[in-house]
Amino acid sequence: MCGQVECPRWRESGYGKDMNDTFDCIVCGSCVLDILIRPVPLTEPIGEGTLVDVEPIEVAPGGIVSNAGIALARLGMNVAAMSYVGDDEWGELLRRRCGAEGIEIRYLIPFPDIPSSVTAAMIAEDGQRSFIHCVGAPKRLDKVFFLDRLDAFARSRFALFGYYPLMPSLLEDLAEVMAAIRQTGCRTALDAAGDGGTMQPLERILPHLDLYCPSREEAAAQTGRNDPREILAAYRGYGAPGILGVKLGSQGALLSPAADQFVEIEPVEPPGEVVDTTGAGDTFYAGLLAGLLRGFSAKDAGRLAAAAGACCITGVGATAAIRNFDETVRLAGLDPPGNP
């Protein structure tokens, strides 16, 4: 069963080498097919009947499941994807692309009669972007879907969910789901997107998170504060026990490994021209998780995250420019502590 839905194609797919595989991270939630259109002027209306001459239009996996999942895989992590896709050609393409990156896709399940999630990303010359989005199958994700798969989380070191607050069928139950996952021994992480939402129901979710690092804009919408230290103090006030952070874009990030502890993460110079900022936050998160999973300190994991994000923005789409672990470590100026 897939939550409450029969998925015959998944049952017959044969994906997954061993149902007892272990994972470094299971990435859950938004799984999207991105249609990348560049360059598009974003400062003025296109207007009716206008033809905009663009570069070759590309199609790539998107959303946190693809963006963070592919980045984690390229950084040497053993990754599984967990979400619904549509029972359509877009869904098959998403599964093939993720599988080709070495991601386990047995939990990337076609939902019958619902289209895949698709986004048209319109990218300006300077890399800024606007989106046209169909939510599609992932909006059907609910607590039953995840609670039915606690055995998978029991075999994973981390679970990353995204995005808060864009999970309409799961949001009110997310605290319960996170608590159940942590009880299996798997650590939990959450990423945000959109306008960031509010502290309701985030205030109930925070006590069950081992890692939470939204952008400054998202965090400001949630807490009503703008200063990163005040934002992190607000999260602690709601009982957040784990590593907290605020992504500061071109200014780096501020991490808090524990209460009243702060680590400033300086930005890393991109190894090329800034082409597209799509997925930079997801890639930062993947780098942060990869560093922590490999035993880096919070500071060094943050530095690896900044380097991964710096790579991301030098290619079109969220994953085209992601580098392997050794290259990303060198860009970050770190000495790796060893294999996970």
Convert the pLDDT of each residue in 291-337 to its tens digit: 999 999 999 999 999 999 999 999 988 899 999 999 999 999 998 66
pLDDT at 109 over 50: yes
- Report the pLDDT value the prediction gives residue 338, as an integer from 0 to 100: 53
Percent of the chain with pLDDT over 70: 93
Cα separation, 288 vs 282, whole angstroms: 10
- Report the pLDDT value the prediction gives residue 46, as an integer from 0 to 100: 85
pLDDT-based confidence at residue 128 (cuts at 50, 70, 90): confident
- Report the pLDDT value the prediction gives residue 19, as an integer from 0 to 100: 61
Burial of 56 (0-12, 13-18, 19+ CB in 10 A): exposed
pLDDT-based confidence at residue 11 (cuts at 50, 70, 90): very low
pLDDT at 6 over 60: no
Can you tell me the mean pLDDT for 212-225? 98
- Report the pLDDT value the prediction gives residue 2, as an integer from 0 to 100: 42
Within a 10 A sphere around the Cβ of 113, how many other Cβ atoms?
9
pLDDT at 284 over 70: yes
Q: Provide the β-strand partners of residue 26.
A: 80, 159
Nearest to 159 by CA among 233, 213, 82: 82
Q: The tokens of 5 are what? A: 């839905």
Q: The tokens of 7 are what? A: 């998925």
Q: The tokens of 142 are what? A: 């609910």
- Report the pLDDT value the prediction gives residue 1, as an integer from 0 to 100: 38
φ/ψ (deg, to 5) at 162? -165, 145
pLDDT at 115 over 70: yes
Highest mean pLDDT among 4-18, 42-56, 171-185, 266-280: 171-185
Can you tell me the mean pLDDT for 40-46? 89
- Report the pLDDT value the prediction gives residue 275, as an integer from 0 to 100: 87
Q: Provide the β-strand partners of residue 245.
A: 255
H/E run at residue 67? helix 63-74
- Report the pLDDT value the prediction gives residue 301, as an integer from 0 to 100: 98
pTM, to two decimals = 0.90
| Contact in structure between 229 and 262 (CB atoms under 8 Å) | yes
Convert the pLDDT of each residue in 247-278 to its tens digit: 999 899 999 999 999 999 999 999 999 988 88
pLDDT-based confidence at residue 18 (cuts at 50, 70, 90): low
pLDDT at 156 over 90: yes
Q: Which residues contact 336 (CB under 8 A, 6 or more apart)?
A: 294, 325, 326, 329
The whole-chain average pLDDT of the chain stands at 92
Which CATH number fits the domain 23-42+56-331, given the four candidates 3.40.605.10, 3.40.50.1220, 3.90.1300.10, 3.40.1190.20?
A: 3.40.1190.20
